[in-house]
Amino acid sequence: MPRTIIPGAVGLGPNLRPNAWDLAVLPLLLAILWVLAFGSAQMTTPYNIGDPLPISLDPGDLPYYLLRSFLRMAAGLAVSLVFTLVYATLAAKSRYAEKILIPVLDVLQSIPILGFLSITVTGFIALFPGNLLGVECASIFAIFTSQAWNMTFSFYASLRTVPYDLREAADMFHLSTWQRFWQLELPFAAPGLIWNMMMSVSGGWFFVVASEAITVNGQTITLPGIGSYIAMAIAAKNLTAIGWAIVAMLVGIILYDQLFFRPLVAWADKFKFETVPGEEIPTSRLLDMMQRARLLRAFSMVPGMIWERSLILFRKRSDGLSPPPGTRLRLPWFDRIWTVFLLCVAGFAVYRVGDYIKAEVGLDEVVHVFLLGLATAVRVIVLIAIAALVWVPVGVWIGFRPRVAQTVQPIAQFMAAFPANLMFPVAVILILHFHLSVEVWTSPLMILGTQWYILFNVISGAMSMPSDFRAVADNFGLKGWLRWKRVILPGIFPSFVTGAITASGGSWNASIVSEMVSWGDTTLMATGIGSYIADNTQRGDFPRIALGVAVMCCYVMLFNRQIWRRMYRVAEERLRID
Amino acid sequence: MTDTNDLLIDLSGVRKFFRAPDHSDRIVLDDVNFQLRQGEIVSLLGKSGSGKSTLLRIIAGLIRANGGKVHYRGQPINGPVRGISMVFQSFALFPWLTVQQNVELGLEALAVPAREREERALEAIDVIGLGGFESAYPRELSGGMRQRVGFARALVMRPDVLLMDEPFSALDVLTAETLSADLLELWLERKIPTKGILFVSHNIEEAVAMSDRVLVFSSDPGRVKAEIPVPLPHPRDRDAPAFKALVDQVYAIMTQRPLRPVGAEPLSLGYRLPSATPHKIEGMLETLLEPQFNGRADLPALADELQLPDDVLFHLLEAGALLGFIKVDEGDATLLPLGRTFAEADTNDRKTLFAKQLLSHISLASHIRHVLDERRDHRAPEGRFIQELEDFLSDDEAERVLEQVIAWGRYAEIFDYDYTSGVLSLPEEEEENGSAGEDVAAE
């Protein structure tokens, strides 16, 4: 039977007449399709900079705004997925491409996402003059930049680790490059890729909210969406509207989970390379329904057949005996020339950027911005440490109690997805009311949304710790600090590092919105590189945005290399349980 | 000579080398000549690292030879050939495909129409005895059943030549014997269209039981050392004297070369040290001392007594011989006086003796000890030694050899190793009083 990437096409029964399941699924799907079509049509309305884009605070309009934000997220995810498949495949298959693509990706993932927005929005507006689509694209691009890099890295890593014997089997059984991609590489990479997509969407809501109200040359454009609704509510000091927005966001996150990820995860379970015995098999009511509905199966035959045809079309023609079409020449010195060439290009680029910044801003300011970066770095370190102190014990406590974990884990994941910037106004009100220090008390906002990554990773680490370890600890009467030092901390360390890396990266990004927060016409500003970028974005000072973004990028890369990657290696090599 | 139409696979002067990091070439196969004719089953035996799996992959078209002639039915092989199929040691099944989908994989790749694909797959699944499991996923199956899927997947291609890379070595003994007997039955009763089978094995008895010819490979560089025809009719009785004599003969050939006399020139630094833990070496020497052997054992009997697969036994024997504890000739292992002393000694004396032999016979061990003695802080990173080894060995092999010598050195307490930092050092108590190690180091 054909196997397809489309759920439901497996096992075409002879009987394709609609059945009872169709009655349930079909209206649901048609409704979803109609809503999506309606929302997309709204994206391309005529628009010129300066036109007012009124956002109403009427809760009745919220579903519409939610739909628009929802679509932006979906578009960002789709673009990220295509980007991932192409970029990572190129990097994994070509040695020459790999030498450029992987370092570039490393830099890209260190650039603060909202920095992208400030820099690219003018370009996108110029691309679609007189149409709102340009601004939409800029927003989608920002969401894309928040989602794509970890997906790409995951896919690249999977492609590089396809088991050698399976690759040999694919060769032995005459799979062409195209067939191998679909039959071996993509299925093998699917679980990791889907997990990263979930993480991406979870992190993406923050940027959906942050990227809808865009400032260009002092003009604020508010794209219809949840983010603009909130920006409007903040400006109008309307707490009720913010409450409604939070409810709408909740609904949005749950819909994404139920309509998209649950079916996807349940379906992709079979691609897991190794199964951990006793692990719960993910299920999805929607997927069951879709797989049982006959008419749907008939629909999915069309893409399934196209896919099948493509496999036949791009098959391997060589029978292994006729001489291969031109053996590729391999020149040993070409590698070196290529490396030197790339280094020259990179050196020139750095030189030009340095020159530009020096001419426009001056060296003193560069030093100043580095110091601002240090202030933010201190915040990030302190906050991660505090979050670890709080959430590691809590997470371990929860993880060791499977019942509790089952209820808490989804909540923690949900909290991670919830855009913390919705909560910022509350902080401003509190700071103003109690006359608190802005420098100190705006800092927790940075980690408000990202601390949950630590929690839920620690929970899953504690849950997956072999119970023998704890039995041994009990048997030898290990108690108190000794128990933590010898058993618990080493056991959860790898998961903790994974969570902390995500939290740290997220916090740097969040600093741009959290070091400068507003409520009505009051704006609180803390000293740091985040507020520097935010402030200059509002003013439209291009060279300073670039400087801020570049410096933050340096810090993030330094953090990744000097701290996280080392901890990750320790976790991988020494504390792995296998 | 036979008619050339009879020739399925024809290799002559095949060479294969891999490029080492320092751009020197490491020769894996040198001047290999081999022919597979219609109607025969041939097995390849040899130490691990002798290049027999590489040879199999060259014939499969998975990798290219650097020189020589590789022909299938008179035509040069330039990639995976349609008439050749392969069974893998690790099964190499796609876990997300059902049994039937796995079996259909190769047909699908060649765009065989769906109906024909299904018919052929069901037939192959049936022949190999997996009927009823068409819709199961590999993870639901036991190892033996998974390998049956591996066979069905290869046989459904109706291959002229079937290549098998240690097809039974990942299975337990009983499962392996059942599966090989089933395969042999299909072959003898002509239920499969395959004209020739070539398989790599590490189990001498299995090779003799199945094949018409056994080829023994030597290593460094790999080449065909001996060819032993097996003229016994099927079914073969593994207890028959003629069978046992052949098995003995193969054991003798496989242990023929090595075994350098004690006190011969030291090994080269890049010698492929055998994989053998000190405790297994202890166990083997103790077993040889037992009354039933009384210092001398027939190799098949020793393998049986130790319950070890042949490849593991060969590593142990080589280690014992390198260290001057035993000698191996004509298919027998004999305990030397030093080995007897070792086996009769207590733990501490054993370690002292082991250290002495290690430092005098294994040049890598004495080299490491020397470097550590020379350095003021008595420490050296492992990378330094791996780099030296990579002049002779592949990356993986260099790491394995260093790991091996570290295990021996730790047992002998001539040096210490820290896994986290990857640093080798002198054992602690020696480091403190400086020269105490020298009575061990001095021979």
Tokens 């047992």 -> residue: B411
Question: Quick check: ipTM above 0.85?
Answer: no
- Provide Rg for chain A, Cα atoms: 26
Mean pLDDT of A403-431: 82
Separation CA A461–CA A454 (nearest Å): 10
Q: Which of A184-193, A402-411, B77-86 has the lowest mean pLDDT?
A: A402-411
Q: With contacts defined as CB-CB under 8 Å, which chain B residues touch A320?
A: 61, 72, 77-82, 84
Q: pLDDT tier at B368 (50, 70, 90 boundaries)? A: very high
Is the pLDDT at A416 greater than 50? The verdict is yes
Q: Which of A290-294, A496-500, B172-176 has the lowest mean pLDDT?
A: A290-294
What's the one-letter identity of residue A342? Answer: L
Is the pLDDT at A208 greater than 80? The verdict is yes
Which position has the higher pLDDT, A319 or A561?
A561
Separation CA A41–CA A56 (nearest Å): 20
User: Residues of chain A with pLDDT > 70: what percent?
Assistant: 89
What pLDDT is stored for residue B2 in this prediction? 47
Separation CA B143–CA B170 (nearest Å): 8
In chain A, domain spans: 57-283, 333-578
Tokens 């009124």 -> residue: A54
For B4-254, the fitting CATH number among 3.40.50.300, 2.40.50.140, 2.60.40.10, 2.130.10.10 is 3.40.50.300
Is the pLDDT at B134 greater than 70? The verdict is yes
Q: With contacts defined as CB-CB under 8 Å, which chain B residues touch A169?
A: 86, 88, 92-94
Report the candidate in A240, A263, A85 with the shortest Cα–Cα distance to residue A158. A85
Mean pLDDT of A89-100: 86
Separation CA B129–CA A369 (nearest Å): 72
**Whole-number mean pLDDT of chain A?**
81
First to last CA, chain B: 57
Report the candidate in B322, B93, B313, B333 with the shortest Cα–Cα distance to residue B204. B313
What's the one-letter identity of residue B50? Answer: S
Burial class from Cβ neighbours inside 10 Å (0-12, 13-18, 19+) for residue A562 reads: exposed
Give the best residue of A1, A10, A172 to mutate against chain B (max B CB count within 10 A). Answer: A172
Is the pLDDT at B140 greater than 60? The verdict is yes
**Fold entry, domain A333-578:** MetI-like fold (1.10.3720)
Give the best residue of B94, B98, B112 to mutate against chain A (max A CB count within 10 A). Answer: B94
Q: Do A100 and A141 contact (CB within 8 A), yes or no?
A: no
Q: pLDDT tier at B150 (50, 70, 90 boundaries)? A: very high
Q: How many CB pairs under 8 A join A and B?
A: 98
What's the one-letter identity of residue A552? Answer: M
**Whole-number mean pLDDT of chain B?**
86
Residue A3 touches chain B, beta carbons under 8 Å:
yes
What pLDDT is stored for residue B1 in this prediction? 44
Main-chain phi, psi angles of A219, to 5 degrees: -95, 130
Largest CA distance in chain A: 82
What's the one-letter identity of residue A524? Answer: L
Which position has the higher pLDDT, A49 or A3?
A49
Mean pLDDT of B30-53: 88
Q: Cβ atoms within 10 A of the Cβ of A540, count?
A: 15
Contact assignment for B92 to A574 by CB distance below 8 Å: no
CATH class for the region spanning A57-283: mainly alpha
Mean pLDDT of B333-353: 91
Mean pLDDT of B202-210: 90
What pLDDT is stored for residue A8 in this prediction? 35
What pLDDT is stored for residue A11 in this prediction? 39
CA distances from A5 to A28, A30, A250, A510, B103 (A): 21, 21, 30, 36, 19
- Provide Rg for chain B, Cα atoms: 25
Q: Which residues pair with B43 in a beta bridge?
A: B199, B214
Is the pLDDT at A16 greater than 60? The verdict is no
Main-chain phi, psi angles of A85, to 5 degrees: -60, -40
Residue A182 touches chain B, beta carbons under 8 Å:
no
Q: Nearest by CB to B61, which of A166, A169, A320? A: A320
Separation CA A100–CA A108 (nearest Å): 12
Tokens 């004509």 -> residue: B330
What pLDDT is stored for residue B12 in this prediction? 92
In chain B, domain spans: 4-254, 278-343, 348-441
What pLDDT is stored for residue B262 in this prediction? 43
Which position has the higher pLDDT, A362 or B99?
B99
Q: Do A155 and A102 contact (CB within 8 A), yes or no?
A: no
Mean pLDDT of B426-433: 65
Two domains, one topology: A57-283 and A333-578: yes
Query: pLDDT digit string (tens) for A467-487?
Result: 788 888 888 888 888 888 888
Name every residue in B having a CB less than 8 A away from some CB of A: 57, 60-62, 72, 75-82, 84-86, 88-97, 100-101, 105-106, 108-111, 114, 137, 139, 153, 157, 419-420
Report the candidate in A499, A518, A516 with the shortest Cα–Cα distance to residue A415. A499
Separation CA B146–CA B138 (nearest Å): 6
Q: Is B278-343 assigned to CATH 1.10.357.10?
A: no
What pLDDT is stored for residue B20 in this prediction? 63
Exposure b/e, A139-177, CB count within 10 A at least 16 = b: bbbbbbbbbbbbbbbbbbebbeebeebbbbbbbbbbbbe
Q: Which residues pair with A48 in a beta bridge?
A: none
Separation CA B345–CA B128 (nearest Å): 53
What pLDDT is stored for residue B429 in this prediction? 66
Q: pLDDT tier at A186 (50, 70, 90 boundaries)? A: very high
What pLDDT is stored for residue A50 in this prediction? 65
What pLDDT is stored for residue A201 in this prediction? 87
Report helix angle A113-127 to A542-559, nearest 10.
140
Residues 6+ away with beta carbon under 8 Å from B271 = B362, B363, B364, B401
Contact assignment for B77 to A321 by CB distance below 8 Å: yes
Which position has the higher pLDDT, A530 or B434?
A530
For residue B123, how far is the Cα from the chain centroid? 34
What pLDDT is stored for residue B257 in this prediction? 60
Q: With contacts defined as CB-CB under 8 Å, which chain B residues touch A322?
A: 78
Strands B84-87 and B161-165: parallel
Separation CA A172–CA B82 (nearest Å): 9
User: If DSSP codes are grouped into helix, strand and coil, which group holds residue A37?
Assistant: helix
Mean pLDDT of B368-379: 90
Query: pLDDT digit string (tens) for A139-173?
Result: 888 889 888 988 898 899 889 888 999 999 999 99
Q: Do B74 and B121 contact (CB within 8 A), yes or no?
A: no
Q: Which of A75-79, A102-106, B423-427 has the lowest mean pLDDT?
A: A102-106
Q: Which of A257-266, A562-571, B195-204, B249-258 has the lowest mean pLDDT?
A: B249-258
Q: pLDDT tier at A228 (50, 70, 90 boundaries)? A: confident
Q: With contacts defined as CB-CB under 8 Å, which chain B residues touch A172?
A: 60, 62, 80, 85-86, 106
Give the best residue of A162, A167, A173, A314 to mutate against chain B (max B CB count within 10 A). Answer: A173
Q: pLDDT tier at A18 (50, 70, 90 boundaries)? A: low
- Element of type H or E holding B416: strand B416-418
Q: Do B198 and B187 contact (CB within 8 A), yes or no?
A: no
Residue A469 touches chain B, beta carbons under 8 Å:
no
Separation CA B200–CA A218 (nearest Å): 74
Report the candidate in B11, B6, B347 with the shortest Cα–Cα distance to residue B196. B6
Q: Do A313 and A30 contact (CB within 8 A), yes or no?
A: no
DSSP 8-state secondary structure symbol assigned to residue B48: T
Contact assignment for B95 to A173 by CB distance below 8 Å: no
Separation CA A174–CA B112 (nearest Å): 12
Question: What is the DSSP annotation of A5-23?
Answer: SSTT-SS--S--S--HHHH
